[in-house]
Structures are given as structure tokens and as C-alpha cells.
Structure 1
Amino acid sequence: MAGSFLQTSRLLLQSCSGTPSFHVCKLHMTSSMAAKEHYKVLVVGGGSGGISMSARMKRKVGAGNVAVIEPSEKHYYQPLWTLVGAGAKSISSSERSTSSVIPSGVKWIRSRVQEFNPDKNCVRTDKGSEISYEYLIVALGLQLHYEKIKGLPEGFKYPKIGSNYSVQTVDKTWNALKNFKEGNAIFTFPNTPVKCAGAPQKIMYLSDAYLRKTGKRAKANIIYNTSLPVLFGIKKYADSLWKIVKSRDLNVNFRHNLIEVRPDKQEAVFEKLDNPGETVVFEYEMLHVTPPMGPPDVLKRSSLADEAGWLDVDKDILQHKKYPNVFGIGDCTNLPTAKTAAAVAAQSAVLDRTISNVMKNKQPDKKYDGYTSCPLVTSYNTVILAEFDYTGQPLETFPIDQSKERMIMYYMKASLMPQIYWHGLLKGFWGGPGPYRKIMHLGLK
């Protein structure tokens, strides 16, 4: 692997000329022979994974040798949107300018990647620029597909419907909740992978709490329609959630997938996945939509993707299976674990070590265990903190039973975690709670 990479690097150097920060390349060139930028480390995506890794790479190779391609002017701490949709936080509290989170001295390329060309160590942007790299980190996140539900996204123009997964629609969730009168409050989970798989039901628990607080719960029929066959994938936490569902009189329908919204009639149409061709229509007074999700189009059509379109990386070391100078992090990868910011944090520490070794022509020696975390918000002051690994086994940080609802976990979710995100993860200093877990468990775990 190291030999293959060295050969690739030599080919790149032979086909480029200029200073280390700017090269004129002959790779994938048009007849115009346009100039092309070159960076030692190129990061594609300015979300949590991309910013974290750009900060780590800056310390490793110097700011002038690192660039981030990201078109958005704003960066959001999206885990907070569960609380925004329930009226507990403002959208502005989750927002920073992208310029403020890009590490100082690192080049911010305000574009979208239009094409990957890993055989020639180049990418092309939507502005026509071609950028070459020695090492590539792909951190593109995933793509929301509201348009795969008939009647959306145009249906969001109507009241009573919202979604915590988009900055344009999260406030609509809160508007639908606070204006609720009586009838069905429906919460959905799509038939695709999603980021933060607990979020679709977190807003259900918060809505239940809000309706109880405002005296409207007796007039509400709360329904969770999920495409999954289980309430939550990890049994320990699912058992606790079932107790909450039963004690609060919440209705759960498995294998129900939202396929159409009729906002003018306040109707939602679901297909029954275990009975192909059969559908059922629900009227709603409030509808929270979790959209289908998938890999970014630019990734799907590239040679970097697996058959399903996700970035094809080794699940232990986060290095691409075909291209040894390409690495991945976060939601865009095919790692078999939940897609969360907590997973990104743990991955960033492993990926930092992997790239360090590859740069030194050494074999990667640190493995990602699949750690991820999902703070399951069950009210305005309680959280079940789910933590688990690739095997689906709990991997808990604290020496207590985290499957129980706890107030302290809520304040950690609402107040402490955002600070860790902005000042730890994005600065490249927080690699997850792994090092602290052994201390918490007195070295026994």
C-alpha cells in the first residue's frame, strides 16, 4: 500500500510544477490548460468532520498546506435542532459563520465539488477550478431527500408540518407544536439510513411533554410511524424507551413509511412495508417529517463510492479501500455505525493517527471501534444517554446505568455538549470520551 502511494505521489510531482502551495498541473486538463491549486491535505466538506480534521491537519502540516472546500456561509451545530423544534433553544444558538470555524490560515475554498478524480489526485469544483492534493479527506455529510415524499418540499409552505432536519423547516416544527389544538400528532422515520437515528422520536417525547405542560395532551393522539421493525436498535435503551411509550400513552406503528403528504387536506400517506402495495392514510393536526437520506450525488457518481453510493472506507482505520491517500469521516462514509456528531468525534482521533502513520509510510495502528452516542431526549429536563459500538453493545462513559432518564444528562446535552463541540471538536482537541471512560470505570472498561 505504501509503495503504491509513493508511486502515485511521484507521478503527481512529475506532472506538476511550481511552489508547494500553487502548482500548474497537467492532470485532467482541458485544452485551455488552466492553472490549478495544490494542497498537501485537501478536505472536502466544512461540517463537523471536515472542520475538525482541518484543524488537526493544520497542526500536522501547517495551515498553508491545508484547504477546505465548503460552499455554505454558515455552520450549524445540528444536534441542537431537536431542542429548537421543541421551543427550548433558538436556531441562532446553533449557528456560527463558516469563516469563524475555519482554522486560521487554512484556505477556505467557497465552492462545491463537482467531480472527484482520485486516479489523478484532483477534484473539480462547480466554479471550474481544479485542485490537486497529496492527501484527500472526504467529509461531505449526507443529502436530505424531501422530494422523494410526494407533496414535499412544497408542503412546508402550509402550517402544521415541520422537520427538525433542515434549517429552513425546524422552526416550522415549533410553530406546529405551539399552535396544536386537537387531533393526531404524527412523527415519522424513513426507510433509509438517517443521521441521529434517535432524533425522530426525541421530538415526539418533547411534544408530549409540551402538550402536557399546556393542558392539551388529553386532546392529542401521539403517533410514531417508523419504517423500522424496532423502536431503537440497541435493546438496553429500547427497553427503557418502551416503558416511556407505554406510560405516556404513545402509539407506535412499525414498518410504516411516509410516501406522500397532502398538506391542503392535512393527510399523510404511509406504505406498509410488510404488505407491499398497501397504504394507509392518517389525518394530522401536527406532522413532523424525517426525510429520506442518502449519500451526496457527487460521491455516488464517483469511483470513491461503494455500491450504495457511500464513501468506501476501511471501518477500522477510515482509509479508502482502493485509494490509500484518500480518507473519510462522518455521515458520508459506509461505516456500519449510527451517523452522529459523537461518532465524528471518535473517528477524528482515529483518522488523525491513521493519516500520521500513512504520511510516515507506517501501517495505521489505531482502530475505530464504532463508538457513537445518541442522547435520547425524553422531556424538557431528562435524557437517556445511549452509547454503543459496532457490535451494538453499550459502551457507556459513566459508571451508572445510562438507560435511565436523568436530569444531569439533559443539561449535559443542552449546555455542555455544544461547548465541547465549538471549543473542542471543531478545534481538533476532542476525540470523544474514550480516554475518560477507563478513568470513570477505574480502568475496568
Structure 2
Amino acid sequence: MGLEIKRLDEKLSVTGQISVDDLTNIAESGFKSIICNRPDFEGGENQPTSEQLEQQARALGMEFAYLPVRLGSIPAERGEAFHKLLTELPGPVLAFCGSGKRATALHTMSKSDDEAARMHQSTVDACNWGNAFDVVVVGGGSAGIGVTASLLRRRPALRIAIIEPNDKHYYQPAWTLVGGGAYDVNQTVRRMADVIPEHAEWIHAEASGFDPANNLVKLVDGRKIGYRQLVVCPGIRLAWEKIAGVEETLGENGVTSNYRYDLAPYTWSLVQKLKQGKALFTQPPMPIKCAGAPQKAMYLSCDHWLTNGCLSDIEVEFHTAGAVLFGVADFVPSLMDYVDRYHAKLSFNSNLVRVDGRNRIACFESKDADGNVRTEEKQFDILHVTPPQVAPDFLRDSPLADASGFCKVNEKTLQHPDYHNVFALGDACASPNAKTAAAIRKQIVVVAENLLASKEDEELPLVYDGYGACPLTVEKGKVVLAEFGFGGRLMPTFPLKPAVPRKLYWFFKTTVFPWLYWHGMLKGREWLASPRKKH
């Protein structure tokens, strides 16, 4: 048949990936049932779906069962389900996955005479990783997918693995728009399998640490993945636990956040329903991703209330743990015009520390000039929370981290100063730039070019200038496009006054930027992303 089929016992045999065309020979060989243990789309578009295989198998008179098992740790319940299928399905049975290893492990679990032994978690190596990958990328977000695509465009023969545990990939910059009623949340998400570059290996597992001395990434399931070069970009972790009581009330009692896919629509629902009362918006201490997002939520909400004639009956307060409204002074006057328009009260050095959702009370701590801490409770009808944010634990506790917990880099080359085969970009990078998707767009090119130069022991050719951008949605229909680099230096892409709110930039924010993200940045196309070369 062309398949390598291994007989495990009188009823069960296993094999690697099968095609629709293989099913005729499988049926003619006497198999009565098929068990598919490989998740749909794990192998990309060339892999037939379970639905296609099931349709053909049943047409040939065979039973078909879909029991997907991800690479890595196999939960005990999957072993139990496999045991049940073997009991119920007519034999002989052929089970398959990518290589047959998961099906074999399931058989071992299901045949154990000791019930307690069967309930343990079994771990499967999905492929032979004895030889290190050319590049391992930790993180399948904007930075991880983008830099992988750019590397493969330059060197298609590179063997690259992306370590990413999530099934979904999100375009997070649009969640502010979702919370303002200007974007469909369903347009911000795609399956991870659809954005992983075609020639990259997706290791569908969670990283647990780094061993840079031995060029290894550790996984939660106990495996270790070898690399010749490493790209660290697992993003930033939302540390909700730093605000007492908030996790228990998110999504109800008027407590929401545009920093989560499932909560951004709730923000818009609350905004529409509020006709009078008090709305609080918060911003925690830096670093956070998209430092303008907390106030953007306020502007779009206020614009809706103003347009609908109820803003005068709503008290709006913006509490920021920082000392200024925005970190680049050139944009503050324009933003203050909108703060005044919306009659919003600004509270600086005010940090949200506790939420009582049931009684709708938010507790803030503030410091005066002498460092004295004062606690203040505020009633609210709407509380938009921006969570504190920290480096992922497995990065913070590793040899790659600096004192902040983020991946240490030379801020110009994005190379690790202690381990020269390690690079970092995105929100997990310790470079002092703004943590935005626009910054990642520029960093991708720097890392791709410098990593390949390092591979050849050549001088690193590119320098990152700290570019970042924050499209500040000050009203529905207008955006202040703040573009800046290290030290707050203005870096406008277009020959227009940077601090002026423009309809053109709203069009960019709602239409152009999302299209460029899905079809450009994640595909390795580097439009308007060229950094400067070293002198």
C-alpha cells in the first residue's frame, strides 16, 4: 500500500499520516475501522481533514473515529477514550497520526492492566528532534510568525520550529476598536494553523525554560528542543492577579477590559447601555503593550456618549499610575484637547489595586510628592481595567533575562549580549521601545538580517532605532498617529504634522493596518519596514 503499518495486537495496527487515496487499499487489506489521532490542519493545507477521510472511509464500508491528540503530553482521558473506541469499533482497527507514535502511546495506555498506571500522562516525541533545528522561535504571536516568515523568505531551506501552545492567533490592535463599536471581534482571530508559515514546524506545546549553555528550550511536558540559533518572542503576560478581586468579576458587574478578546465586546455593550453614572478607566505602571490603549478606550467611549447626548450625565475619570498622559510630550497638547472636550478628570500616580465587583467599588493607591501612599475608593458603573503586565515566568526565571525579567538584548542589534546565537523582539524584549505591533514590524527585519549574518560569523548589518507607533483613536473617525523612536524622537512616516487628528489615519487604523498585518507582516512582506544600516 505504500504505508508502513505496524501490527500491535490482534485488533490494532498503527501507521503514519494516510491520504484519501490510501483508504481503498486499507479497506481491501481487511481493516474495518479507522481511528484518526492527528488533529486537523496540524500538517498544513496538504493534510486531508478528518471529515474528508471519514466520508471516503464510510463509503468503503469502514467505521471512522476522530480522536485528535496534540503533540506533547497526552492527557489520561484521551487514553480512556482510545480504550473505549477499541472496545466498541469492529476490528481490525487501523489508528494513525503524523508518525504513528501517538497512536502507539495511546495503545500502551489503553492496554495497561493497572488502572492507576493507565491514568498517568504519557509523553510522545512527535518527530526526531535529535538534531537541532537551525532556528527555534519561542512564541507564535506577531513577532514569532512575522520573523519566521521573513527568515524563510530569505533562506527557504532553514529548518525552523515555532513553539506555541495556543490554537488561535489574534490581531490585538483592533480590540480597542471592538470596544468602541467600530470593528467586528470575529475579524481579529484566525486559527494558528492558518498563520504558521508553510515550511516551519509548529511545536504545539508550552515552553517552560531555557538552557542557553546547551542550546536547548525546555517544554512543560519534559521535552527539550535543540537549536543552533534562538529567537525569543513569547510576548508579555497579563498579570491580573496583581489587582485583588478583579479576576472574579471580569465580564460582569460593569468590569471589562479591551486587553482580552472575550471582553472587548462587553466593553461596547456597557458603553451603549450607560446613560448616566460614573465610568473609570485605568492604566497600570509600565511596561504595558500599547501604552495608548487605556486612554483610547476612554476617548471612544466618550465620543459615543457625546454623540448620543448623555456625556453631561456621566462622570469620566482616567487613573494612570504614571505622571504624564502620554510618554512623548509632542502629542500631549492634542490629547489634552480631547480630555477637555470630554470633560474627563485625570488622576496621575493613581494605581488600581483592588476591585469589589459586587458593590462596584474600585480601590486606588496614589503617591504624593513625598512618597506618602494614600488609598481611595471609587464607586463606578463602568470600570475599564488595563491589567499590570510582566515578562512570562519561564523567561523571567531564565539565564536570558535581565533585572526586569525580559530578554536581555543590545537595543540596537537585538542580539543577546551574553549568548550571541540568541535574539529577541516583540513585547518580551528588554529594549526600551514602545511595545507595539508597529515596533515589531521594524524589529522583524533587524532580527532576520542580523541573525543570518551572525550565522555566517559576519558583522551584524542593521540597527534598530526604537521605532514604535501608537494610532490614538481620539474619536470615532479620527486618529492621532504617534510615531516615535528612542528618546521620544518623532519619526513620522508621512509628511504631515504628526499631532493633528486625521480621518486618513482612521482609515489606516480600521482598514489598511489590519490588511497589512494578515497579508504583509505575517507573510514576510516587509513594506515600509526597512531599518537603517550600521555606519
TM-score scaled to structure 1, two decimals?
0.88
Work out the CA distance in 1 between the residues paired with 2:207 and 2:487: 34
Equivalent position of 1:290 in the other structure:
386
Relative contact order (alpha carbons < 8 A, sep ≥ 6): 1 or 2 greater? Answer: 1
Match of 1:218, SS state, is helix
Judge conservation of contact 1:227–1:273 (CA < 8 Å) in 2: no
Equivalent position of 1:336 in the other structure:
432
Shift, 1:86, TM fit? 1.2
Aligned with residue 377 of structure 1, among 466, 473, 482: 473
Judge conservation of contact 2:396–2:405 (CA < 8 Å) in 1: yes
Judge conservation of contact 1:342–1:432 (CA < 8 Å) in 2: no
Aligned with residue 287 of structure 2, among 193, 202, 214: 193
Work out the CA distance in 1 between the residues paired with 2:389 and 2:308: 34
Moved more, 353-362 or 310-319: 353-362
Cα deviation, 1:324-349, whole Å, max 9, x if unaligned, reads 00000100011111100000001011
Equivalent position of 1:326 in the other structure:
422
Provide closer, same or farther for how the CA distance between residues 118 and 84 of structure 1 changes in structure 2, counting only shifts above 3 A: same
Equivalent position of 1:95 in the other structure:
189
Aligned with residue 346 of structure 2, among 240, 252, 261: 252
Q: Is 2:217 the partner of 1:123?
A: yes
Equivalent position of 1:402 in the other structure:
498
Work out the CA distance in 2 between the residues paired with 1:388 and 1:371: 6
The amino acid of 1:422's aligned partner reads W
Q: Is 2:469 the partner of 1:358?
A: no
Unaligned runs of 5+ in 1: 1-31, 438-445
Work out the CA distance in 2 between the residues paired with 1:63 and 1:220: 59
Judge conservation of contact 1:149–1:261 (CA < 8 Å) in 2: yes
Moved more, 66-75 or 241-250: 241-250
Q: Is 2:139 the partner of 1:45?
A: yes
Equivalent position of 1:58 in the other structure:
152
In the alignment of these two chains, the number of paired residues is 406
Shift, 1:321, TM fit? 1.0
Match of 2:148, SS state, is helix
Equivalent position of 1:110 in the other structure:
204
Shift, 1:59, TM fit? 2.8
Provide closer, same or farther for how the CA distance between residues 200 and 432 of structure 1 changes in structure 2, counting only shifts above 3 A: farther
The amino acid of 1:290's aligned partner reads T
Moved more, 178-187 or 74-83: 178-187
Provide closer, same or farther for how the CA distance between residues 92 and 157 of structure 1 changes in structure 2, counting only shifts above 3 A: closer
Match of 1:426, SS state, is helix
Aligned with residue 397 of structure 2, among 291, 295, 301: 301
Equivalent position of 2:376 in the other structure:
280
The amino acid of 2:430's aligned partner reads N
TM-score scaled to structure 2, two decimals?
0.74
Judge conservation of contact 1:43–1:54 (CA < 8 Å) in 2: yes
Judge conservation of contact 1:192–1:294 (CA < 8 Å) in 2: no
Aligned with residue 333 of structure 2, among 222, 239, 242: 239
Judge conservation of contact 2:251–2:266 (CA < 8 Å) in 1: no
Q: Is 2:302 the partner of 1:184?
A: no
Equivalent position of 2:410 in the other structure:
314
Equivalent position of 1:138 in the other structure:
232
Give the aligned CA root-mean-square deviation in angstroms: 1.9
Provide closer, same or farther for how the CA distance between residues 433 and 107 of structure 1 changes in structure 2, counting only shifts above 3 A: closer
The amino acid of 1:263's aligned partner reads G
Work out the CA distance in 2 between the residues paired with 1:372 and 1:316: 14
Aligned with residue 180 of structure 2, among 86, 110, 121: 86
Moved over 6 A (4+): none
Equivalent position of 1:416 in the other structure:
512
The amino acid of 1:373's aligned partner reads A
Shift, 1:319, TM fit? 0.4
Equivalent position of 2:305 in the other structure:
211
Equivalent position of 1:271 in the other structure:
365
Work out the CA distance in 2 between the residues paired with 1:407 and 1:56: 32
Shift, 1:64, TM fit? 6.1
Work out the CA distance in 1 between the residues paired with 2:157 and 2:163: 14
Work out the CA distance in 2 between the residues paired with 1:197 and 1:150: 22
Match of 1:268, SS state, is strand
- The structure number with the bigger radius of gyration is 2
